[in-house]
Each structure stands twice: as structure tokens, then as C-alpha cells.
Chains A and B, each alone.
Chain A
Amino acid sequence: MHSFSDQSGCVFLDVQSGETLSILMPKAEIFKVLSGEILIDEENEQSTAIMFLIQKNIFIPLENKNKNV
């Protein structure tokens, strides 16, 4: 995983499949989503990407406050 210096987002490489994903949220915010501090209600590209990464066990939600995540 890599977080860019301009805080524009993070990118991930799934080493098994070779797929690369991006999330347009700075690292700090992503952690807040995983810990439930920020809630995601709508389905958008970012929440889909986060969910995908959780499914692949690249992300592990720290707390399950988010209904969609």
C-alpha cells in the first residue's frame, strides 16, 4: 500500500492477482472509516473500494460501526 505525499489518496497492489486499486482518501481518513469514526452511508467508488479490500483481507475493520462496511 502506498499513501501519496499530497494526501490525495492511497493505492494498493493485490500481489496475488496483480490488481491495483485506488482510494481517493488520505490514509488518516481511511483509518477513521475502518475504526468507525467516519461513517459511510452512500455507495460510491470509495466505499466499494474499501469493501473490496476488506473482503480480500487487506483491510480489517477495527470496529463495525459502519453499516455498509
Chain B
Amino acid sequence: MNNLSADDVCHAFIAPETTLVFTSKQWQQLVLILRHQQLLACYSAKFKQVGIFERLPIQTQRHFLNADVLAKNHKKQVLFEAFELKRELGDIPQYMIFLKGAGYTLSGAELGDTRIYNDIDILADKKSIDMIEKRLWLLGWLSEELTEHDEKYYRKWAHETPPLRHSKRGTIVDIHHNIVPIISGRHVDADKFASNRVTTEDGFQILSFAAMTLHSLIHLFFNEDVKKGYRDLIDIHTLMTANNHKEYWIPLTKLAKQTGFELELFLACRYVQKTFQTDIPDFVQDEISQFCPRNIAFLDFIYEKALKPNHPLCRPKFFKVAEFMILIRGHFQKMPLHILMYHLLCKAGISLIQSLFGKHVFTKELDQP
């Protein structure tokens, strides 16, 4: 009996009807992989869209239905939190833009209906950050526990204040004042992104779909975190497909050029097409082909592996190698070499100790479930 491969999982997204020949074992594998990647609700919507949901085995349907309930509830919670944050902080900053997952949900786009995410990300102007943080402390939001080293990294070098967690509700909010770390030498005028904001019907500030897409692909291709690479690629594909018109593509390419992320845009378009056969207009492809880097073969090698579902059941061979190389590349892009070495050494030091003494040696008293 054939185990599912990563490509089978991708294919199930592009052509859901092909899953109807799955054996019950293959369905189980699909559920496990999707649950791990937090994509159950996303695929559930796909199956319903093409009208085959009722033909899935009952046991499988249950798992998708559970995910639907979770996604629906998640959306309600995010809306509630966003209202509260707007109410509590709205008067302080010049702008307060909900990014990433929260942005998807507040935009009302289909993408926001099935997406689960852990934090609420907000972009605010740099000079308001301190006041925002102080106001949140007063309202019962506490800093997440970080090692001293990570805390320094956040404040000094990265573009985020450490995340804050609401003491009663447990929600985590990340306040950003930039898109990429200040130290990286890639200066991105946060205001350029911020000027691409729109206001939703409910009065929330979010990025335009073009800016949202660019932000998402910067996060995937400039930062090093590909743990949910496949899911992030689906996000980009969904945004591109839902907004496939000139008024989207032109601002997207323009903003990419203005902010210096043409390479990332090129890579994003390349890999969504390879994986999902995304429809990208010819004029866009012509425009961005000039940004094809010389080391594209190497990038293909690492990204074609890393952007696939990475559950042990179907993870592509050499996935770990690819992931590691992206980590190095990502860190390198974020930080000049000497700072990178310091950071990596510290992090390596920590993981060396953890590997000798067990993963949780840095945490306090074992708390039992």
C-alpha cells in the first residue's frame, strides 16, 4: 500500500477529486499530516468548494468538521481581541495595522476563514511603540518569558518588542515597528508599507492585499522560519488567486521594487507556480524574470524541499538539510556576519546543553498536566 508523499498532499489541494480513490489508511495519513501543518480547515473548505465533502469517509469528515469548529471559534476570538485592542490603543499611534493572520481574518477574505495562528501581529509607528507597550502592561498584558539573550535580541536587533501575553485570556500580541530587523542593513521604510494600508468596514487598519502578499512572502523567503512553509505558500497562492487583476499585481511589483524585495517576489511566484500551478499573468512574469538570481539551482534545491509538508510521514528526503540551509541563509540575510556568529554560538550553546541534559532543563519547576 502506498504511503502518501508530499506531492500527493499538494496534489490533493490542486485537484481534490483525486483523493476519492484514497484508501482509509491514506485518508488517515492525510488527516495526520494536515493536522500537524494546521491545514485541516483549509482543505476542508476546498473539499466543500468542489462538492465532494460528503463523499469522504465518515471518520475523516469528523476530523475536518472538528477543524471547522476550531477555525470558526478562532475567527470570533480574533475579532473580539482586535476590537479590544483597537479600543484600548487606538488613540496612541499614528497607525496601527493588523498584520499576517489577524490581517487575513479582519480583511474578510476567504483566507481568513480557515487560518489558525497563535499570535496577533500589529505594525505601529516606531515612536508610539513604547507608549503602546506601557499601556498594554497597565491593562494586564505581560511579557513572555524569554532567556536574557533572546530578550536582548528582540529589543536591540530585531524589529519586534518581545511578545506580550494577556494575563487572563492568554492571547499573544506582537507589536512590530518594522518589517525586517533594523540591524540587517536592509533598511525598509516601514512607512512605505504602512502607506499601503486600508481600513475595513469595521474600522480596522490592515495592509492592502498587494502589501499583505508582499509581507507574507518576505516573511517566508527573507526570514528563516520554514516550519510552516507549506502553509505559508498556500497563503500566498490563495492571495494571488483571489486578487488576480492588474490593480493587485502592479502595486505588488511596484512595492517589491520600492522596498528592495524583488528577489523574494520572484521566488514566491516561481514556487507557487511549481507547487500549485498558480495563474500569474504574463506581464508579471516578464517583469520579474529579470530578478532571477544566479544561484537559482541551489535555491530550487532547498526550497522545493522545504516548502512541502514536513510531517515525518511524507517529508521529502534531505528536508532537514534544506531547512538548515535556509536557517543559515535567513540568519545571514538578517544580520551581518559577526553578529550572526555571536547569535548562532549562543543559540548553539543552549541547544548543546539541552541535548546533554534534556530539552526542558531551562524551564522552571516541571509543571505537570
Contacts and interface: CB of A to CB of B under 8 A. Distances in A.
Touch test A–B (CB under 8 Å): yes
B301 interface: no
Interface stretch (B75-83, B196-204, B312-320): B75-83
Interface residues of A, number: 4
Contacts of A18: 76-77, 80
Contacts of B83: 16
A15 B75 CA distance: 12
Nearest to A14: B80
Interface in B77-96: 77, 79-80, 83
Contacts of A17: 80
A61 B161 CA distance: 44
A18 B171 CA distance: 14
B278 to A, nearest CB: 36
Interface string A1-32: 00000000000000111100000000000000
A1 B101 CA distance: 32
A1 B80 CA distance: 20
Contacts of B79: 16
Nearest to A15: B76
A50 to B, nearest CB: 22
Interface string B34-77: 00000000000000000000000000000000000000000011
A19 to B, nearest CB: 10
B116 to A, nearest CB: 16
B86 to A, nearest CB: 13
Contacts of B77: 18
Interface in A12-61: 15-18
Nearest to B77: A18
B259 to A, nearest CB: 37
B195 to A, nearest CB: 32
A42 to B, nearest CB: 27
B245 to A, nearest CB: 34
Contacts of A16: 76, 79-80, 83
A17 B77 CA distance: 7
A18 to B, nearest CB: 7
A16 B80 CA distance: 6
A44 to B, nearest CB: 23
A16 B169 CA distance: 13
A15 B76 CA distance: 9
Nearest to A16: B80
A14 to B, nearest CB: 9
Contacts of B80: 16-18
A15 to B, nearest CB: 8
B29 to A, nearest CB: 34
Contacts of B76: 15-16, 18
B252 to A, nearest CB: 34
A55 B317 CA distance: 58
Contacts of A15: 76
A21 B79 CA distance: 21
Nearest to B79: A16
B156 to A, nearest CB: 36
B79 to A, nearest CB: 7
A16 B79 CA distance: 8
B82 to A, nearest CB: 11
Interface string B323-344: 0000000000000000000000
A61 B83 CA distance: 25
A16 B87 CA distance: 15
Interface of B: 76-77, 79-80, 83
Interface of A: 15-18
9 contacts: A15-B76, A16-B76, A16-B79, A16-B80, A16-B83, A17-B80, A18-B76, A18-B77, A18-B80
Q: Nearest 4 pairs between A and B by C-beta? A: A16-B80, A17-B80, A16-B76, A18-B77
Given A16-B79, A17-B80, A18-B76, 6 more contacts: A15-B76, A16-B76, A16-B80, A16-B83, A18-B77, A18-B80
